[in-house]
Structure 1
Amino acid sequence: MDMLDEFDVKIIKELEKDGRIAYSTIASNLKISNTMVHQRINRLFEQGIITGIKPILNEKQIGYDWASFTGITLNKDSDSERIIEALKEIPEITECYFVTGSFTLYLKITARNHEHMRKILYDKIDNIPGIAKTDSMVELGCAFKRNVSL
């Protein structure tokens, strides 16, 4: 955490509370200049520490009542780049990770209902050449999700 000083951490914590907060409000809350807040946030973006400020959707409120964590086994791991590009074309896949162990990739899939989930798994994912099998666990709700503590 050498790249972050106390002001960077305080600014990030303000943005975590409300990503829409005015920079002038952050400056006032932290008793620093508006210019300093602008410069710090710009630097945090340039360094890739902050990668974006966007809304966090509550999927259930917009009709997506089902989610799964799905492990994917590939016929050949060397096909992973092509398969990842195909997975990116499926909008219901919201996260994709490289993992160790039994699977090559691990996905988070969000669907409207069990029929929609079945179609995503069987009609979309299973039809991607190079995927040997999938193994899914249904998500029953998120206990919590957060950024790493600063």
Structure 2
Amino acid sequence: MDQLDEFDINIIKELEKDGRMAYSAIATNLKISNTMVHQRINKLTEQGILKGIKPVIDEKKVGYDWGSFTGLTLNKDQDSGRIIEELKKIPEITECYFITGSFTLYIKIIAKNHEHMRKILYEKIDNIPGIAKTDSIMELGCAFKRNVSL
């Protein structure tokens, strides 16, 4: 947070409203130059603070009605790198986290229906060598999702 100043924070807040907003519109809204907006966004991107501007897809509206949060128990935690690379090949896995506790990894899976979810779990994930066990909690809908407040 020390590396962000008021201009950076305000530019990010403008982008959160609409990631497609023109730099000139951001400049006008913040009463700064278009060049400054462009330079700041480039700097934030180079620093890895902004990781890109991507569309947010409503999974349910494109036919993915099922979601799960699934904990993965590995045979050996040191195999996590290889296993993560295999998980990346499964497009229905949208998130993957290192966690503490009973599991090594925690993933978010989206599926079209219960049969699709079963195939992802039993035919794709369970076939990855080194995964000892999965434990899933079904998602019933997202109450909210947001970025951290700056």
Instruction: With the length of structure 1 as denominator, give the TM-score of the two structures.
Output: 0.99
Paired with 2:138 and 2:96, the residues of 1 have a C-alpha distance of 16
Paired with 2:79 and 2:9, the residues of 1 have a C-alpha distance of 40
Paired with 2:85 and 2:136, the residues of 1 have a C-alpha distance of 20
The equivalent residue for 2:101 is 101
Paired with 2:46 and 2:84, the residues of 1 have a C-alpha distance of 26
Q: Deviations over 1:47-93 (max 9, x none)?
A: 11001100000000000000000000001111111111111110000
The equivalent residue for 2:6 is 6
The equivalent residue for 2:122 is 122
Query: What amino acid sits opposite 1:24 in the alignment?
Result: S
Paired with 2:149 and 2:20, the residues of 1 have a C-alpha distance of 20
Q: Deviations over 1:87-115 (max 9, x none)?
A: 11100000000000000000000000000
Matched, 1:77 2:77: yes
Query: What amino acid sits opposite 1:132 in the alignment?
Result: A
Percent sequence identity is: 81
Query: What amino acid sits opposite 2:68 in the alignment?
Result: S
Matched, 1:40 2:40: yes
Query: What amino acid sits opposite 2:94 in the alignment?
Result: T
Paired with 2:14 and 2:133, the residues of 1 have a C-alpha distance of 43
The equivalent residue for 1:90 is 90
Which 4+ residue blocks in structure 1 deviate beyond 6 angstroms? none
Query: What amino acid sits opposite 2:29 in the alignment?
Result: N
- Counting matched residue pairs gives 150
The equivalent residue for 2:59 is 59
Paired with 1:48 and 1:78, the residues of 2 have a C-alpha distance of 27
Paired with 1:62 and 1:149, the residues of 2 have a C-alpha distance of 29
Paired with 1:82 and 1:48, the residues of 2 have a C-alpha distance of 24
User: Could you say what secondary structure the match of 2:8 adopts?
Assistant: helix
Root mean square deviation, CA, Å: 0.4
The equivalent residue for 1:24 is 24
